[in-house]
Chain A
Amino acid sequence: MSEWTFIALLLVTAFIFPAIPIVAGTLLGPRKPNEMKNSTYECGVETVGDTWVQFKVQYYIFALVFLVFDIELIFLYPWAVAYNQLPLFGIVAGVVFIITLAEALVYAWRKGALEWL
């Protein structure tokens, strides 16, 4: 059961750890509220207009296409680092992976996903 004790300890610590600065801040910090401080924090800039606006669906498609490169990068980086220790299979697997992703890109490109309308 000793492994579980560590997990339980970790859980307790995880709750206490963020609680300490919050409580300490409330107890120790000076309190001088003004209008600016009480406003909702939104990246420093106040919201202009209604937030319920429709976004162009193309943002979504672009984000999806971006995933092609994102995933490619994440997997190819360790692959490239270990490249000179890989057997033939490692190379083949990497190439198949790149071809699969490239195919997705070709598909999206040809379907016009990269045209901004």
Chain B
Amino acid sequence: MDIPTLESLNLLAVLPAIILAAYTGLLLVVDLFIPNENKQRTALLAILGLGATGVALGVQINQYSAIGDQMAFGGLVIVDGYALFLQGIFLLSAILGILMAMNYLPRRGIERGEYYSLILFTTVGSMFMALANDLMVVFVALELLSIPLYVLSAFIRDDPGSEEAGMKYFLLGAFSSAFFVYGVALIYGGTGTTSLDGVAAVLAGEALNLPLALVGMGLLLVGLGFKVAAFPFHMWTPDVYQGAPTAATGFMSVGAKVAGFAALIRVLVTAFPGAAQAWGLLVIAIAILTMILGNVTAISQSNAKRMLAYSSIAHAGYILVALSAAQFPELAQEASSAALFYMLTYTITNLGAFAVVMAIEKDDGSGVEIEDFAGLAKSRPAVALMMLIFMLSLTGLPVSAGMVGKFFVFGVAINAASQSVWLAIVAIVGVLTSVVSAFYYMRIVYMMYMRDGDEEAEYPAIKPALGTALAVTGIGTLVLGFLPTLLFDAAQRALIAGL
């Protein structure tokens, strides 16, 4: 084997991810010398690093139309529109996640500098999930993404609920990683390569003669299904989301899920077009069951964090609807851009919803029952209005980002319906379960606006950091609702030379 030279690695192509990785390492050491009472500085430094990475990414996006797709690390990593768009989502969610934590951690008495470093580590992992063009890179990125999240879930060390969350997430996450590695091993056994393009080339035309690779593909679906919390691999989600500190829950409900989908879509569409019929049916079945289970179970929840956990399962189902349309090569591009756009709307809206939960959560972690939203419109009109926007968007009602996202996702499934009746069915189930979801989202709105709450209820003060996060997510949700073409075009352009 030849040892690569510095030039052949094309490190410049992955500069944003490298900047963030190096900065994270630096921040971990710098944080050691920041006194405990000044950990907000670590948070600001973390945001600074994310901002610098964002600038590098912006330059890359700017040059993308001129340069086009690039490979790095000898083809292990691909920098295409798909990866650039997703990296933008990850940076955005990391910045919002840190802004929310800056306010939340000191109140819960758990502000340790590692929190911010861990968020950056996860973000680096997510970025490589989007960049990966080889199953081994996907795996390493998956671990870099997951391990910090296990720690973040257990961050309230003396709280049994948080410990339980961390333990459950770790055990099931490790289990799913094992599935993933086994899948990679079988695919290597069947095709002799782990490169996505290589697998596609071997599978072309004779996928059904390579059962080993097909079983491997199924195992990859299991491993990544855990990460995105799709049925029947969603079991950990409610407990982990409820037990983890709310700031971490909000962050991982978008970061881990979007990164999981980033890899899932890339792997299935790039490496397994030859087996599209096989995974197409699997994805349709998983999508239907995920949407039904998530939405129906969310109705009976009394805890807002748990309700949002089931809601996030349901949203994984909607993204799977878009993925199921990607089994037809001529629709793969449209389906992927619909999924990308949906992930962007979901990221902004869901982070916003968790920011509101944080805004009413008491210092001991209680006060996040749905009952606790009662009378919020009177005592905190601005926060209630924000929550109204987010709930409308999560339901998918007009003039919100969520409506546009669902429109694209179901639209691409309807477009594909002429090819297979199953696509029509999955779209219909999606629309029907969206109606069901209105029931539990609107219950919070009903609580806030129609019910009188405890007059004496005291809500914690909203500090500038959380206020900024709320404002950004709220405005973002509205802007994406009013001007959807703005970013959908970007999502589509992102894919022209992509997948």
Interface residues of A (CB under 8 A from B): 86-90, 92, 99-100, 103, 106-107, 110-111
Contact = CB atoms under 8 A, between A and B. Distances in A.
B232 interface: no
Contact of B6 (A88, A103, A110): A88
A106 B6 contact: no
A100 B32 CA distance: 16
Contact of A100 (B3, B6, B25, B33): B25
Contacts of A89: 3-6, 9
A111 B28 CA distance: 12
> Would you call the interface of chain B mostly helix, strand, loop, or mixed?
helix
Contacts of B32: 106-107, 110-111
25 contacts: A86-B3, A87-B3, A87-B5, A87-B6, A88-B5, A88-B6, A89-B3, A89-B4, A89-B5, A89-B6, A89-B9, A90-B3, A92-B6, A99-B25, A100-B25, A103-B25, A103-B28, A106-B29, A106-B32, A107-B28, A107-B29, A107-B32, A110-B32, A110-B33, A111-B32
Interface of B: 3-6, 9, 25, 28-29, 32-33
Nearest to A111: B32
A6 B29 CA distance: 52
Contacts of B3: 86-87, 89-90
Contacts of A86: 3
A89 B9 CA distance: 9
The listed residue with most B CB atoms (<10 A of its CB), out of A88, A90, A107, is: A107
A88 B25 CA distance: 23
Contacts of B9: 89
A103 B23 CA distance: 13
Contacts, number: 26
Contact of A103 (B4, B5, B29, B33): B29
B60 to A, nearest CB: 22
A106 B32 CA distance: 9
A97 to B, nearest CB: 12
Contacts of B6: 87-89, 92
A110 to B, nearest CB: 4
Contacts of B29: 103, 106-107
A40 to B, nearest CB: 33
A72 to B, nearest CB: 16
Nearest to B33: A110
Given A89-B9, A90-B3, 9 more contacts: A86-B3, A87-B6, A89-B3, A89-B4, A99-B25, A103-B29, A106-B32, A107-B29, A110-B33
Contacts of B28: 103, 107
A94 B140 CA distance: 19
Contacts of A103: 25, 28-29
- Top 3 nearest A-B pairs (CB, nearest first) are A110-B32, A89-B6, A87-B5
Contacts of A99: 25
Contacts of A106: 29, 32
B418 to A, nearest CB: 45
Contacts of A100: 25
A86 B6 CA distance: 12
A92 B5 CA distance: 10
A103 B33 CA distance: 14
A89 B3 CA distance: 8
A87 B33 CA distance: 36
A85 to B, nearest CB: 9
Contacts of B4: 89
B201 to A, nearest CB: 24
Nearest to B117: A107
B49 to A, nearest CB: 16
The listed residue with most A CB atoms (<10 A of its CB), out of B3, B5, B9, is: B3
A52 B191 CA distance: 50
Nearest to A89: B6
Contacts of A111: 32
A41 to B, nearest CB: 34
Contacts of B5: 87-89
